[in-house]
A = this chain, B = another copy of it.
């Protein structure tokens, strides 16, 4: 017999709603995970039609309800203020949901979405995708194994420059569409998620400042912040701080997280995601992503040998693959779900409250 045909049941028929950059990233990840993009919808039918080839869409829908019906999993990649209605509709239809962060533009809505997903028993995930860098997993495994000792200090930054100039503009700048906290909601939430993910610890109180470097963009006043500075304390006894900015010239996507304990320090830089810096009193280590020398959860996410760089799309692919595994009944370690999105909303609310009151604000567990 010359050949055997392989039948692979497609378990991941996705709807992708939103056809911008994030829609393309989601679609590519769906294909990489062996799924299909059963249909897409965009802000206009024409846009969706033009985007269809790049998104490998099997169909273009102009009715979102029909699109939800046609899919098993709904990927919500639209501006923030539209996350809730679409995600809630998908959940109501019994579909699994992947919803971009921030889940919603206010805490109550994020809570409602999380509760709805839980009640419906669907898989509902949020792409805190930096969790899927193998070296982030390695950092987490080393903390968990006690190799860093008792944690004492965490600090870092998340810096970008794409909104540096007064004529740089985006829907995220508008509080109505993106939410009242922009830089923090968009990228600061990633930093806090990574901190809590790597350390297994929880922020309990924050003290923050907000600043808007460009008070006008696109001919209108801007109320959302360009810069956040943030101090915090944790349940486990760490103190720390971070800086978030979208107006730091020369920094493209500089997420730095440094965690110090009584035995060692770990530092991860998202612009160089293939290495983990391990500070020691006698010698510092630079661990490269060589699957032969990583902890199991990090090695699991290493797809190519050390020195052959993995990147952002690889993280996204792994996130969608793990979402698929959860739908199939597995419980992949570290999958970010709506509860994590809700957690981010809680921290964001405390940051806003602290800055407003110029005082420390508690973060509920």
Contact = CB atoms under 8 A, between A and B. Distances in A.
B264 A249 contact: yes
A329 interface: no
A157 interface: yes
A207 B361 CA distance: 13
A4 B286 contact: no
Interface of A: 1-6, 8, 21, 25, 28, 31-32, 34, 39, 49, 52-53, 56-63, 66-67, 70, 152-153, 155, 157, 160-162, 164-165, 207, 209, 211, 213, 226-227, 229-231, 233, 239-241, 243, 245, 247-254, 258, 260-265, 270-274, 277-288, 290, 293, 303-314, 358-360
Closest CB pairs A-B (n = 9): A250-B279, A253-B307, A252-B307, A309-B311, A308-B312, A311-B311, A252-B306, A3-B61, A2-B66
B227 A153 contact: yes
A2 B307 contact: no
A28 B21 contact: no
A252 B304 contact: no
A251 B288 CA distance: 9
Instruction: Give the copy number.
Output: 4
A248 B260 CA distance: 6
Given A3-B60, A28-B32, A209 B239 contact: yes
A159 to B, nearest CB: 8
Contacts of A209: 231, 233, 239
Contacts of A248: 153, 258, 260, 265, 279
A108 B21 CA distance: 48
A272 B211 CA distance: 30
A27 to B, nearest CB: 11
A310 B307 contact: no
B260 A249 contact: yes
A227 B239 contact: yes
Contacts of A285: 283-286
A266 to B, nearest CB: 9
Given A2-B63, A58-B6, A313 B312 contact: no
A153 B3 contact: no
Contacts of A226: 152
Nearest to A267: B250
A124 to B, nearest CB: 24
Nearest to A70: B3
Given A153-B211, A252-B288, A253-B307, 7 more contacts: A2-B62, A153-B229, A207-B231, A250-B264, A283-B286, A285-B285, A309-B310
A160 to B, nearest CB: 7
Contacts of A260: 245, 247-249
A205 to B, nearest CB: 9
